[in-house]
Amino acid sequence: MNIFLAIAALVFSVITARTYWKAGTFKAKASEDVLVGAGMAWVKGNMGFTRTVAWLEILGAIGILAGPLGAWVTNFEWSKWVGVAAAGGLTLTMVVAFLMHLARGEAKYTWKMNFRIIVIAALATALQIAVVLPLF
């Protein structure tokens, strides 16, 4: 196993988990007015959906790290797939978010951040597949 790939997989997984953890906890705790003030106009009248997205982001952030850790500690075959599924799910979450911003005409303001997060999450997914699956 290439140690560089293993370190890259860990780094991108941690960056992805941290990004989504922060975003999810912010959306889970903040009021509608705070979220709208932070530039998330889409939450207006959709707080149930917003909280659902928040908890999916939090669970994905946990899964992207807990899956490989669980595979290492418990040696369960299914556990390694949790990290891959979480990373892939978070990538898809950001793709859908970008499409939503595009439909609302907000993409000109959000595309740079959306693109960065999509790339980081996609790299974490690819590295989880390339490193974590064969490793355990």
Question: What pLDDT, on a 0 to 100 scale, did the predictor assign at position 1?
Answer: 59
What pLDDT, on a 0 to 100 scale, did the predictor assign at position 130? Answer: 86
pTM over 0.95: no
Question: What pLDDT sits at residue 25?
Answer: 95
pLDDT of residue 67: 84
Which distant-in-sequence residues (6+ apart) come within 8 Å of 130 by Cβ? 5, 9
Residue 26: per-residue pLDDT: 94
Cα angle, residue 76 at apex, residues 72 and 78 outer, rounded to 5°: 110
What pLDDT was estimated at residue 136?
66
Distance, CA of 108 to CA of 101 (rounded, Å)? 9
H or E element: which one contains 51?
Answer: helix 47-74
What is residue 51's predicted lDDT score, i.e. its pLDDT? Answer: 93
Looking at the structure of the chain, the number of domains it has is 1
The mean pLDDT values, 10 residues at a time, for the chain of 136 residues are 80 90 93 87 86 92 88 80 90 89 82 88 88 75
What is the rounded CA–CA span in Å between residue 62 and residue 82?
A: 10
Full domain range(s) for residue 24: 3-135
CA 55 from centre of chain: 11
